[in-house]
Amino acid sequence: MNDKIALITGANKGIGYATAQGLGEAGVTVLVGARSPERGEAAAARLRAEGHDAAFVRLDVTDAATVTAAARHVEEAYGKLDILVNNAGIALADGGWSTSELTLATARKVFETNVFGAIAVTNAFLPLLHRSEAGRIVNVSSEIGSIGTMLREDLPFGGQQPGAYGASKAALNMLTVSYGIELKDTAIKINAVTPGFTATDLNGNQGTRKVEEGAKIAIDMALIGEDGPTASFMSDGRIDYLNGAIVPW
């Protein structure tokens, strides 16, 4: 697979970095998308030290200029893109995290990264994905964006308020379906995935799964073959309370 090129947003740490490692181990050239040149370059250097083909691409999903510049750079340097992993995401709330305390400013900030950023990046790189023989898009979502899961009080996250974060991931899930319908007659497949409750900076490292476990489903879906699914919401099948790999919308 050494001719495959993958771009992962928010890849300088956490699940994004573990995804880059896994794709690198599969022989894919990985482009570390990150806002900070210092952190992004350092992450790419670590990946190269581990034996992977990796490079840093400055990319702030909330900054249209960097998105445009990143797409232009990838086109000039590689001529195509085979895999896009929309991993960058934030979780913010106000007060005691109840929805009634949520301010519009916080909600807009969450959606700016988790939803609008994914749209901006996907649309910017779609022309390059169309040049791939088998383009793959993976949207890193969450079971907290699953309406079917959050209404089940017998499940670990059920009955809790998903807030702006959950609403943004539900929106990302619908965008996955929307893109999937548009691209169904092309070689591009797009899927949403949940890493499960993974210990990252997003949750104060309180998660119960390691980043390598959380990244597995993103890696797997990035490498699916022609017979793989599209417009689906998947887990790795090892999150017991989800009862299988297919996550309810």
Which residues, at least 6 apart from 204, have a Cβ–Cβ distance to it below 8 Å? Answer: none
pTM: 0.95
Cα 85 from Cα 87, distance rounded (Å): 6
Place of tokens 């890696």: 219
What's the token pair of residue 188?
């591009």
Domain 5-242 belongs in CATH node 3.10.450.50:
no
Cα 120 from Cα 123, distance rounded (Å): 5
Which residues, at least 6 apart from 202, have a Cβ–Cβ distance to it below 8 Å? Answer: 14, 89, 90, 91
Place of tokens 């023989």: 133
Cα 225 from Cα 133, distance rounded (Å): 11
pLDDT in tens, the chain (249 residues): 459 999 999 999 999 999 999 999 999 999 999 999 999 999 999 999 999 999 999 999 999 999 999 999 999 999 999 999 999 999 999 998 899 999 999 999 999 999 999 999 999 999 999 999 999 999 999 999 999 989 888 877 777 889 999 999 999 999 999 999 999 999 999 999 999 877 687 777 776 678 899 899 999 999 999 999 999 999 998 887 787 899 999
Query: In this structure, what is the dihedral angle of CA atoms 72, 77, 80, 86, given to the nearest 10 degrees?
Result: -60
- Strand ranges inside 38-92, DSSP E: 54-58, 83-86
- Strand ranges inside 63-103, DSSP E: 83-86
Instruction: State the catalytic residues.
Output: 165, 169
**Where do the structural domains in the chain lie, given as residue ranges?**
5-242
